[in-house]
Amino acid sequence: SIALPTPQCDLNKIIIAGGEYSLTNGIDVGSTVQYICPEGKYPHPSYTQECLPNGQWLKQKEKPECKAVQCPRPAMFESGEFYPRKVRYFVGDVLEFECWGGFKMFGPEYRTCQPNGKWSGENTICDDQEGDCPNPGIPLGGRKIGTSYKIEKKVKYECELGMKMFGSKERVCKEDKSWSGAEPSCRYWYTFDTPKEVAEGFSASISETIEASDPDRVEDQAYRAIKVQTGGLMNIFIIMDASKSVGEDNFNITKNASVSFIETMASYDFTPRYAVISYASFAKPAVLLANHDSTDAEAVIERIKNLKYSEHEDKQGTNTSAALHEVRKMLSLEEKRDHKKFMETRNVILLMTDGKYQITDGKYNMGGDPNLEMKYIKQMLDIEKNVAREDYLDVYVFGLGEETDENEINELASKKHPEKHVFKLNSTHGIKEAFDEMLGKKLYISSFPTVMIEFFPIAKEDVQEKYPWIAKITIARERSQEKCKGSIVSKFFILTAAHCFYINDSLHAISVSVGDKTFKVKNLYRHEKYDPAGKQDKKVPNSFDYDVALIELEKNIEFSRKIRPICLPCTMGTSWALKQRGKPVKCSDHLQTLLSGELVKAMFVAEEKEKALQRKNVLIKQGNQRLACLDDTKKIERFKDIPDIKDAVTDNFLCTGGIKPEVDPQTCKGDSGGPLVVPFKRRYIQVGIISWGTINSCNGSKRKHEPVPALSRDFHTDVSRMLDWLKEKLKEEGLEFLD
C-alpha cells in the first residue's frame, strides 16, 4: 500500500502584516508559530498558532496582523472629570484628571498609556472623605456598583466588554475602615506586566509575607505582615508547570527562579519547610513537607536542580488541580499529626504556570477546576469562614506567556490590600528578567537587622539602597574639614578608624550622615591600644596598630530598605547569612568561610564624586601573598629604616593592593574608616576597616588615570582581631557575638 503524505499546514496563512514570526517545527503537524510585533503593537488575533493534524492552522480564519496597543477607556469616573474624552486611547496618550469642589484627589493627576497596555500609576480617586472607608476608586475600563462606604457596605466591579479583571470583583468596608480584597484592574487580553512591575510588586508583597515580627504586635492597617516568630512556622509550596505548552527551556527558567527564591529565604532567622511540585498531566512532588530535609535549603535546591522535564512523559495537559491536590494532601497529613501546630503555621504557595487550563468548549484542560482544590485548602485552614485567618495563606501566581487564562490565575491568587499576588508576563523569559531585576535588591526585614538581605542587580539603583550600611563622617576643625567613612553596626553605633580623629576633637565637631539624615555624636571610643607615637622606639614614625573606633550617636538610626547595618563576623546574624546554623557554630567557622586561601575576593566603597558611591573590587592577600605585601612596604623610602617591618605591618592588618595577580584599585583620602567587605552569596560581611596605604597617588578622593604604582599596598584593620574590644563596647546592642 502507498503511505499517505503527512499533512502540512500552509505557510502563506501565517504571514503576519507588520511583524515577524518563528516556527518550532516548520509547517509540520504540531509546529507552533510565535508572532513578534514592534513595541506598542500586538499580534491579532493571537500570539501563537498551531498546525493541526488536518493540515489547518488553529486560528486561520482571520489574517494575522500587528495592531496598535490600546489602553482601557475610562467608562466611569466619580466626582470629577477627565480629559481628553476619546473612543480609543493608544500608547503615549495622556489622561488628565480633575476633582470637583469639596473632593480631594488621591493618586496621579496625569496617567500615560504604556506599551504593555496599562496606564501608568495607580487609580486616580476623588474623595470627600465622608465615608467610614476611603473611596476605593474605579479601574480604568471598569464600572463600580455601590456608592456607600460605610462599614459592612459592599461595592462591586465589572469590566467593559472585551476586558478581563485582575483583583477583587467585590470589596467590603471592614470594621477597621479598610477595604477587603485587592484593588481591581481591567485588562485587554494582550495586556501584560513588565518584568520591572513584577519585581516591584512581588518583592513588596513577599517582604510583607515573610516579615518576622512580635506575635503580639499591633499591625498598621496600611500594611500586612505574616507574623513568624524567630524559629517560627511556615510552609512554602513551590509549584512549577512542566506541560507541553511550557516547554523544556521555559521549565528550566522556572527552576532557576525557584532556586533564587529559596536562597533569599535562607537568609532569614527562621526555618521554613519546603514542598516542591512539578506537574503536567499529573503532579510529581520532588520535595514533601514530611521529608526529613524539607527545612534544609541547600538540599531542596539540589533537588530542584535535579528535576528533569522528561519526567513528565505525557505533557499534553496542564493539570493544576492535581498539583494543588498534592498541596492539600500534605497539609492534611500535617493536620492529623498536630492540629494545634498546623493551625499556627503560615503557608505560602508560589505557582508558576502558563495558565492554559481551559480549551475551546469551556471544559478544563484536565483534572477539573483548580479553584475547587484551593477552596478545600482554605476550608482546611479555616479561612473560608474566618476572615481573620487570611494571613495564614498567601498564594502568588505567575502567569507565564501571552495566552495565559487571566480569569483562572486571578481566581487562584490571594487578594490582600495593598499587595499584588497575581502577575501575567508576556513570556516565560519575563519571570527570569523579573527575578534578575530583583537580584541585588535589598528587602528590609526588621527582625533581622544584622543580616544584609539581597533579593532577586538593578540597572539604576539608588546609591544608598545599594550600600545601605555606609556612613559618612565629617570632623570640623578650625581651618579644615576631615572626611571619613564608617559602617553602621547597630542603631546607635558606627564602626570606623581611630586615625580619623585628633585627641582634641570635640564631639560637637563630629557629625555622621546616613542617607539624607545627619546625626549628632554622643560619644567616641578609640581603641585603648591605638597610639600613633607608640612605636617610635622601633623607628615606626606613625603607628596605625589597633586603628579602630566606634561612634555612639545621640539618637538611634531608623532602619529601612535604604539604611541597614552591615554583617560583622562572629555574630549570630552572620551565621544565618553564611548558612551556618542547626549546629554549634564558632567564630573560627566564620573566619574559615570568609578568609580561607591566599587570595580572597573583597571590595570597598569609594566616593570620587559627592553622592556617587562606587564599588571597588580588590583581593585580600594572605599566606605567601601577604609576604609580598611586607616586602613591597619595606621598599618604600619612609619604611626602609625600620628593622622589623612587622612592627609597622602587624598581624592586626589585612593587606590589599599591588598589581599581581591583577591590579587592585587604591584607597584614597576620604575612604578611611570605611568597611572592607567580603561578599558571600549576595550577603556582605565586613572583615576590615580601611586604615592606611604605602603610596598616595590620588588627587584627594579621586584616583588618577595613570597606572597604579607597583609598590602600592593598602592595609585594613582586621575586624576579627578586634572582637574582644567590640564585644565590650557593643554588649548592649544585641549582636550576639560567638565564642
Asked if 440 and 457 touch (Cβ cutoff 8 Å), the reply is: yes
- Distance, CA of 339 to CA of 580 (rounded, Å): 31
| Least confident range of 562-571, 602-611, 658-667, 689-698 | 602-611
Residues 6+ apart with CB under 8 A from 664: 618, 619, 656, 657, 658, 708, 712, 714
Asked if 672 and 485 touch (Cβ cutoff 8 Å), the reply is: yes
The amino acid at residue 168 is S
For position 355, what pLDDT does the model report? 66
Residues 6+ apart with CB under 8 A from 299: 293
Phi (first) and psi of residue 205, to 5 degrees: -75, -45
Answer yes or no: is pLDDT of 353 > 80. yes
Asked if 664 and 432 touch (Cβ cutoff 8 Å), the reply is: no
For residue 454, what is the enclosing H or E element? strand 454-455
Residues 6+ apart with CB under 8 A from 367: 317, 319, 320, 321, 322
- Distance, CA of 560 to CA of 491 (rounded, Å): 11
Answer yes or no: is pLDDT of 76 > 70. yes
Q: What is the mean pLDDT of residues 61-68?
A: 92
Asked if 554 and 522 touch (Cβ cutoff 8 Å), the reply is: yes
Answer yes or no: is pLDDT of 658 > 50. yes
The CA-based angle 325-331-337, given to 5 degrees, is 140
Cα distances from 678 to residues 235, 471, 653, 681, in angstroms, run: 32, 18, 15, 10
pLDDT tens digits for 409-447?
A: 899 999 988 888 999 988 777 777 776 666 545 444 444
Taking the CA atoms of the chain, what radius of gyration do you get in angstroms?
Answer: 30
**Residue 332 exposed, middle or buried by CB count within 10 Å (0-12, 13-18, 19+):** middle
Q: What is the mean pLDDT of residues 725-730?
A: 96
- Distance, CA of 116 to CA of 187 (rounded, Å): 10
What residues does 276 pair with on adjacent strands? 238, 287
Between strands 481-488 and 470-476, the pairing is antiparallel
SS3 (DSSP) at 625: helix
For position 228, what pLDDT does the model report? 45
- Distance, CA of 598 to CA of 648 (rounded, Å): 21
Of 642, 648, 602, residue with least CA distance to 622: 602
For position 219, what pLDDT does the model report? 40
- The overall average pLDDT reported for the chain is 86
Pick 3 or 192 by higher pLDDT.
192
Global confidence as pTM: 0.66
For position 455, what pLDDT does the model report? 38
Confidence band, pLDDT 50/70/90 cuts, at residue 208:
low
Confidence band, pLDDT 50/70/90 cuts, at residue 696:
confident
Between strands 94-99 and 675-680, the pairing is unpaired
**Residue 84 exposed, middle or buried by CB count within 10 Å (0-12, 13-18, 19+):** exposed
Grid cell of 139 as nine digits:
479601574
Catalytic residues: 499, 547, 672
Please report where in the chains the cell 545627619 appears, as a residue.
518
| Least confident range of 556-560, 580-584, 695-699 | 580-584
How far is Cα of residue 385 from the mean position of the Cα atoms in its chain? Answer: 33
For position 448, what pLDDT does the model report? 44
For position 271, what pLDDT does the model report? 78
Answer yes or no: is pLDDT of 581 > 90. no
Q: In what order do the strands lie in the sheet with 422-425?
A: 283-287, 273-279, 234-241, 346-353, 393-400, 422-425
Asked if 719 and 675 touch (Cβ cutoff 8 Å), the reply is: no
Residues 6+ apart with CB under 8 A from 650: 545
- Kindly tell me the sign of the dihedral angle through the C-alpha atoms of 76, 82, 87, 88: negative
Answer yes or no: is pLDDT of 215 > 60. no
Please report where in the chains the cell 475610562 appears, as a residue.
74
For position 464, what pLDDT does the model report? 63
The amino acid at residue 514 is V
- Distance, CA of 447 to CA of 576 (rounded, Å): 13
| Least confident range of 386-390, 531-535, 673-677, 685-689 | 386-390
Grid cell of 587 as nine digits:
567564630
For position 163, what pLDDT does the model report? 94
For position 356, what pLDDT does the model report? 62
- Distance, CA of 618 to CA of 599 (rounded, Å): 10
What residues does 176 pair with on adjacent strands? none
The percentage of residues in the chain with a pLDDT greater than 90, rounded to a whole number, is: 61
Residues 6+ apart with CB under 8 A from 12: none
Longest dimension (CA), the chain: 107
**Residue 142 exposed, middle or buried by CB count within 10 Å (0-12, 13-18, 19+):** buried
What is the distance between the terminal CA atoms of the chain, rounded to a whole angstrom?
85
Between strands 675-680 and 683-693, the pairing is antiparallel
What are the structural domains, with CATH classification, of the chain? 11-68 (2.10.70.10), 76-191 (2.10.70.10), 192-455 (3.40.50.410), 464-729 (2.40.10.120)
- Distance, CA of 105 to CA of 80 (rounded, Å): 9
For position 452, what pLDDT does the model report? 39
Answer yes or no: is pLDDT of 214 > 50. no
Q: What is the mean pLDDT of residues 670-691?
A: 91
Asked if 417 and 223 touch (Cβ cutoff 8 Å), the reply is: no
For position 222, what pLDDT does the model report? 35
- Distance, CA of 730 to CA of 487 (rounded, Å): 14
Confidence band, pLDDT 50/70/90 cuts, at residue 736:
confident
**Residue 153 exposed, middle or buried by CB count within 10 Å (0-12, 13-18, 19+):** middle
For residue 13, what is the enclosing H or E element? none
The percentage of residues in the chain with a pLDDT greater than 70, rounded to a whole number, is: 88
What residues does 202 pair with on adjacent strands? none
- Kindly tell me the sign of the dihedral angle through the C-alpha atoms of 507, 511, 514, 516: positive
How far is Cα of residue 292 from the mean position of the Cα atoms in its chain? Answer: 28
